[in-house]
Copies of this chain bind each other. A is one copy, B any other.
Amino acid sequence: MAPHREGSDASLEAMVAQVEKHPISSILIIIAMQTEALPVVNKFQLIENPHSPFPKGVPWIHYHGTYKDIIINLVWPGKDLTFGVDSVGTISASLVTYASIQALQPDLVINAGTAGGFKEKGAGIGDVFLVSHVAFHDRRIPIPVFDLYGVGLRQTYSTPNLLKALNLKTGKLSTGDSLDMSPHDEASIAANDATVKDMEGAAVAYVAELLKVPAIFVKAVTDIVDGEKPTAEEFLQNLAAVTATLEELVTQVIDFISGKCLPEL
C-alpha cells in the first residue's frame, strides 16, 4: 500500500498548506437520506437555496446557512426522479460531492449518515463512529493493482483532537451499493477490517481526495450486521431514533470546529 500512503501524504500537505492559516469558514455536509438530513437542516435553521448551484433538472438539494461564523452547506441528493426514493449509494454520493465541491469550495467535507455496525468489532445500535479509514467491499477486480484500486483503501483526514474531545468511537468503514451483505461482501468487509458498513462513505472520500478537500465521516449505527435481526427491518426500525443521535453529534462536531484551523482538529 506504499503508493497509497504517498498519495495521501501529498494530498494532505496540499490541504494543510492551503488552509492552515485561517479558521475553517465553510463546510459541506453530504447526507444521503432525507430522514438523516432534515434534523440537521432544522437544527441549524438551514434554508433551501432558491438559486440551486446544480444543473437544471437534477434532484439534488442544497441547504445553507451560517452558524458561529461558519457557512454550513448541506447537500442531499434528493429523491430519484424515476422511483421517488432517496438517491442512496455511491454514484449519487460521488456526483453530489463533485458538483458541490466545485460550486461551493468548502474547507472541509463531512459525510454524515447511518451505517450498519459489527458487534464483533464493538459496535452497538446508536453508537456514533468517527471513521479512520474507508474502503469498498463490492469492487472485486482480480488483476494485480486493479485489485487495490477496487478496494480503494483511504485514510480519512486525521482529527485526533476532535476524536478525543467528543469521546467518539473510531473504526474503519466499508462501503458498498447493497444494503444487504453477500458472502463475497462479508469476506471483503472482513479483509477491510471494518467496524461499520455504509453505502456512500468511500465514494465521498474518493471524490474529496480527487479535488483535494479534506473529508471526515460521522456514521451512526442503525443495525447490527452480524446480529440476528434482518438488516432492512432493523434499519427501518431504528432510523428515526438514530438520526436524532446523528444530529446531536454533527452539532458537537461543528461546535468543536468553530474558530479552529484544520490542523487543530
Residues of A within 8 A of B (CB): 3-4, 7-8, 55, 57-58, 80-91, 94-95, 98-99, 102, 136, 138-143, 145-146, 148-150, 176-180, 182-184, 203, 206-207, 209-212, 232, 236
Query: How far is A7 from B83 in the complex, measured between Cα atoms in Å?
Result: 9
Query: How far is A191 from B79 in the complex, measured between Cα atoms in Å?
Result: 25
Give the number of times this chain occurs in the complex, counting copies: 2
Which 4 pairs between the two chains have the least Cβ-Cβ distance? A140-B178, A139-B177, A182-B184, A7-B82
Known: A89-B150, A184-B184. 9 other contacts (CB 8 A): A3-B82, A80-B149, A85-B146, A91-B91, A136-B177, A138-B177, A141-B180, A143-B232, A177-B177
Query: How far is A150 from B83 in the complex, measured between Cα atoms in Å?
Result: 10
User: Is the Cβ of B232 less than 8 Å from the Cβ of A83?
Assistant: no
Given contacts A140-B179, A236-B143, contact A90 B91 (CB under 8 A): yes
A-B contact pairs, 17 of them (CB 8 A): A3-B83, A84-B145, A86-B146, A89-B139, A89-B150, A94-B94, A95-B98, A98-B98, A140-B179, A141-B179, A141-B180, A143-B232, A146-B179, A177-B177, A182-B183, A182-B184, A184-B184
| Nearest CB in chain B to that of A176: its residue | B138
Query: How far is A183 from B184 in the complex, measured between Cα atoms in Å?
Result: 9
User: Is the Cβ of A143 less than 8 Å from the Cβ of B179?
Assistant: yes
Query: How far is A148 from B85 in the complex, measured between Cα atoms in Å?
Result: 10
Q: Which residues of chain B come closer than 8 Å to A203, judged between CB atoms?
A: 91
Q: Which residues of chain B come closer than 8 Å to A99, judged between CB atoms?
A: 98
Q: Which residues of chain B come closer than 8 Å to A8, judged between CB atoms?
A: 82
Q: Which residues of chain B come closer than 8 Å to A143, judged between CB atoms?
A: 179, 232, 236
Task: Give chain B nearest CB distance to A51 CB in angstroms.
Answer: 17
Q: Which residues of chain B come closer than 8 Å to A145, judged between CB atoms?
A: 83-85
User: Is the Cβ of B141 less than 8 Å from the Cβ of A88?
Assistant: yes
Query: How far is A206 from B91 in the complex, measured between Cα atoms in Å?
Result: 9
Q: Which of B81, B84, B183 contacts A210 (CB 8 A)?
A: B81
Query: How far is A183 from B183 in the complex, measured between Cα atoms in Å?
Result: 9
User: Is the Cβ of B138 less than 8 Å from the Cβ of A138?
Assistant: yes
Task: Give chain B nearest CB distance to A17 CB in angstroms.
Answer: 14
| Nearest CB in chain B to that of A180: its residue | B140
Task: Give chain B nearest CB distance to A125 CB in angstroms.
Answer: 18
Q: Which residues of chain B come closer than 8 Å to A150, judged between CB atoms?
A: 89, 177-178
Q: Which residues of chain B come closer than 8 Å to A177, judged between CB atoms?
A: 136, 138-140, 150, 177
Q: Which residues of chain B come closer than 8 Å to A136, judged between CB atoms?
A: 177
Query: How far is A88 from B180 in the complex, measured between Cα atoms in Å?
Result: 24
